[in-house]
Amino acid sequence: MKPIVKKLFGIYGKFRIERTDGRSAPGEKHDGCAYFVLDLTHDPLAIPALSAYAAAAQEAGYDILAADLRVAALCLERGEHPWSADLQPWAEVERDAQSMEKMLGERTKGEQDE
């Protein structure tokens, strides 16, 4: 589609999203959820979109996500690919998060005992 024609359309269905954690399966929490896909490689609005989302993430306390998004925006500005194709699989992220929660829980409990 030519750029001039693209400007005549708003949001439209172009992608089918399936979560890697299985939660978009029928009956699961994210079954039928709406998603917004951003082409970081070709979309000229990707950098300001990432920057705005990073600011919102920072304000909401998601400091690491905000930093990751800022790094991605910086890479795009330099013409570099922001992420490798082999991002950490969700199962590993979830496992690491559970370990962190356990450690933080034990740490908080130990602080309360003092």
- pLDDT tens string, the chain, 114 residues long: the values are 777 777 788 888 888 888 888 899 999 999 999 999 999 888 999 999 999 999 999 999 999 999 989 999 998 999 888 876 566 665 666 777 788 788 888 765 555 544
SS3 107: helix
Separation CA 48–CA 26 (nearest Å): 34
Domain chopping of the chain, boundaries: 87-114
**Is 0.75 surpassed by the pTM of this model?**
no
Q: How far apart are CA 49 and CA 78, in angstroms?
A: 16
